[in-house]
Amino acid sequence: MRNLTLLTDFYELTMMQAYYTAEIKTAQRPEAVFDMFYRENPCGNGYAVFAGLEQLVDYINELVFDDEAISYLRSTNTFSEEFLAYLKRFKFTGSINAVAEGTVVFPGEPLVQVIAPLIEAQLIETALLNIINHQSLIATKAARVCWAARGDSVLEFGLRRAQGPDAGLYGARAAMIGGCCGTSNVLAGQLFDIPLRGTHAHSWIMSFDSELEAFRYYANLYPKACVLLVDTYDTLNSGVPNAITVFRELRESGVELTNYGIRLDSGDLAYLSKRARKMLDDAGFADAGISATNDLDEHLISELKAQGAEISHWGVGTHLITSKETPAFGGVYKLCALKRGGEWLNKIKISEDPLKITNPGIKKLLRLYDVASGKMKADLITLANEFFDEKEHLTIFDPIATWKKMQLYAGDYTIRELLQPVFVNGKCVHKALTIKEICEYAAKERGTLWDEHKRLVNPQIMPIDLSQKLYRLKKEMLEKIN
């Protein structure tokens, strides 16, 4: 992996030097707690999917200022030799807690919690946000697309439209976490053990004297994975009939047709797929799949499904890999507690915009489930020293519309703490998972959502509440400031 230590904003380093100078003068090394959270669900969704944790762990493990980095920073004529010497021996010594990769999450919740010397916690802000924001955005977009496909397979085909190689690579990985079942991205397949999928281009057909000749050559080379692109010339009068001819020849030659079918890349996909389905069925190829590409997104897929399109595999590119509808996740990293002289002080950021007022203090995140259904009931953000017993009745309330309350009765709900240790005092305690394990967990997570929260338009909003103690602390701090 590349060293990403300098993947940071310049002001993070200038602040670090200021902190370093202040520490020398005061003989104090303040410790800080930062929360990474986001304020609004992307794409108008009812939830988001947390992704990027594995890369974040790699980044922290590889965090070192090597000779080349020190030399470059010296060339900026900004940093003292004393501070550069500190960077040369820099090592992250703090603790990080985070929700598991693939977890369904909601606005305002602490997703990554950094507890570290202030100077260390400041450094990792930019890279942390870069990694988590991008991958959570693509995982969330993929979840929307897969929900629209209603059980059909969705393939990530966006590499050529991604904003650069890294966005293509980690976007493909995030798309898998969101529910996709394969990618066209070969390097992502190698790096992350993602299943590879793909057929051929129109140029393949055009390079032969005839469409039938191109189909035959391709089928003879890949008889076990024969998916033919049928819309280069005339989909219904040429492409599909020629594909049927080749499928019949394969079968007559003794090939057992399994993973085979046609791909549509233009035209009215609902109409063409229904006509093609009938032609394939009438020819005795009822098990042939029909794949579709062509600038698809969750809204178009949903419409095509509603119109009875006979499509079972969806290749989604531009709209998925760029999250074209909402191209940024909007996660932020805010100070919520500071320790000087042995005492923790709660911190809060205020704003004219209520959404930008932060929740103070060191917190934990609890998820409440309905016992009967196993579905989510609500999330509860609490102070770290609070304890809740499932054997007791619990009343929670909306921190803005405080009259909105929910009564949970003992035995009817369970509690799960979502933030788990990733680093403890600089040591990585995170157990790396395979992409398959992460995807299985992510699928179970999405399965705990009610369908109302998965709607593509106007989804039901999951209750995200504050505990009484945290609510009172926030209110008291706001009143003191005002």
pLDDT digits (tens, 9 = 90+) for 263-275: 999 999 999 999 9
- 341 has a pLDDT exceeding 90: no
Count CA atoms closer than 13 A to 206's CA, side-chain side.
Answer: 6
pLDDT (0 to 100) of residue 1: 58
Please name which of 301, 323, 300, 327 lies closest in space to residue 158, comparing C-alpha atoms: 323
Q: How confident is the model at residue 108 (pLDDT cuts 50, 70, 90)?
A: very high
Q: How confident is the model at residue 28 (pLDDT cuts 50, 70, 90)?
A: confident
Please give the single-letter amino acid code of residue 333: Y
For the CA atoms of 253, 254, 259, 263, the dihedral, rounded to the nearest 10 degrees, stands at 20
Calculate mean pLDDT across residues 117-139.
98
Summary mean pLDDT of the chain = 96
Pairing of strands 376-383, 394-397: unpaired
- 475 has a pLDDT exceeding 90: yes
Q: How confident is the model at residue 128 (pLDDT cuts 50, 70, 90)?
A: very high
Query: What is the distance of C-alpha 374 from the center of its chain?
Result: 23
Query: What is the distance of C-alpha 385 from the center of its chain?
Result: 30
Return d(Cα 10, Cα 175) in angstroms, integer: 31
Q: How confident is the model at residue 400 (pLDDT cuts 50, 70, 90)?
A: confident
Give the number of other CB atoms < 10 A from CB of residue 328.
11
Entry pTM: 0.96
Calculate mean pLDDT across residues 48-74.
97
Query: What is the distance of C-alpha 140 from the center of its chain?
Result: 5
The per-residue pLDDT for range 275-293, each reduced to its tens digit, is 999 999 999 999 999 999 9
Please name which of 86, 116, 99, 4 lies closest in space to residue 427, comparing C-alpha atoms: 116
Return d(Cα 343, Cα 462) in angstroms, integer: 35
The per-residue pLDDT for range 414-436, each reduced to its tens digit, is 999 999 999 999 999 999 999 99
Calculate mean pLDDT across residues 461-482.
93
pLDDT (0 to 100) of residue 354: 85
Calculate mean pLDDT across residues 20-49.
93
Greatest CA separation for the chain: 86
Calculate mean pLDDT across residues 205-223.
97
Tokens in use for 307? 């119109």
- 19 has a pLDDT exceeding 90: yes
The per-residue pLDDT for range 359-376, each reduced to its tens digit, is 999 999 999 999 999 999
pLDDT (0 to 100) of residue 37: 98
**CA-CA-CA-CA torsion sign (317, 322, 323, 324):** negative
| Bridge partners for 138 per DSSP | none
Q: At CA 387, angle to CA 383 and CA 391, rounded to 5?
A: 145
Burial state string for 343-360 with b = 16 or more CB within 10 A and e = fewer than 16: eeebbbeeeeeeeeebbb
| Bridge partners for 81 per DSSP | none
